[in-house]
Amino acid sequence: MKKNIVIAIILLVFSAIPSYAADQSASAAQGLPSAVIKDNKYEFKPVMEGTQVVHEFIVENAGTAPLQIERIQTGCGCTTADFTRAIPPGGKGNVTIKANTNGYGGSVFNRHISVYTNDPKNPAMSLFMTGPVEKFADITPPTAVLRGNADKSIETRVSVKPDTKHPFKIVESHMEKSLEGKIEYSLITLENGYVLQIKNSLHTAGQYFGRIILKTDNPDKPEIPITVTGRIG
């Protein structure tokens, strides 16, 4: 009787070994993704303010399971991203970054982008985009703000001075429809640039937002948008 029990236990143990081995084999076959970005920094040459800079970063999957790019964090609205969502083992995908350089004239554009994946060993990776941005014109203040009571005269001025590297003349101007009936403006030509004089025309309480578009004779930047905001009490 005891001998039979021992034999039964031995048979039970050996019968479980193939099942355990199969489970281990299936687990190994499943594998893991491995995210690799060999060149994570892009430094562009000087560009004119307002130029959109586009660069494609290559993402490789050196693992044995599909790599998922789950999300991209760009850090600001001036930068957007398109990306390959699934990359097979041994395959390649991309993260395409588009950077808007408006407002960066005379400074260095410097942006850090975070890439989040399902790679358990490397769930977050960093990309960098940087480069100098040349100023086309010195615009002071950068936004025309009209604020005050409706029964008062409300005016402001914006100075537009061409940069010495990029001379231009303003040949035409117009305002967007959102500003029609709300402001009046005139463009004064000076020896070293222009002055945009803007006056509120809204005689009741309200708010408005829009742009005055200055057209230039320089093909590198044919238009200069001047943002106008009004808050009339």
The pLDDT tens digits for 148-172 are 999 999 999 999 999 998 999 999 9
Q: Identify the band that residue 75 occupies on the pLDDT scale cut at 50, 70 and 90.
A: confident
Could you tell me where in the chain the CATH 2.60.40.10 domains are found? 35-134, 137-232
E strand or H helix that includes residue 55 = strand 52-61
- Higher confidence at residue 25 or residue 91? 91
pLDDT score of 30: 66
- Higher confidence at residue 106 or residue 23? 106
Residue 27 has pLDDT above 70, yes or no: no
pTM over 0.85: no
Q: What are phi and psi of 89, to 5 degrees?
A: -55, 130
- Give the neighbor-by-neighbor strand order of the sheet with 206-216: 143-148, 223-232, 206-216, 170-175
Least confident interval from 4-18, 64-78, 216-230 = 4-18
Q: In the chain, what percentage of residues exceed pLDDT 90?
A: 83
pLDDT, tens digit, for every residue of 101-149? Answer: 988 999 999 999 999 999 999 999 999 999 999 999 999 999 999 999 9
- CATH number corresponding to 137-232: 2.60.40.10
- CA 170 to CA 40: how far, in whole Å? 41
Helix (H, G, I), strand (E, B) or coil at 171: strand
Residue range 35-134 in CATH 3.60.150.10? no
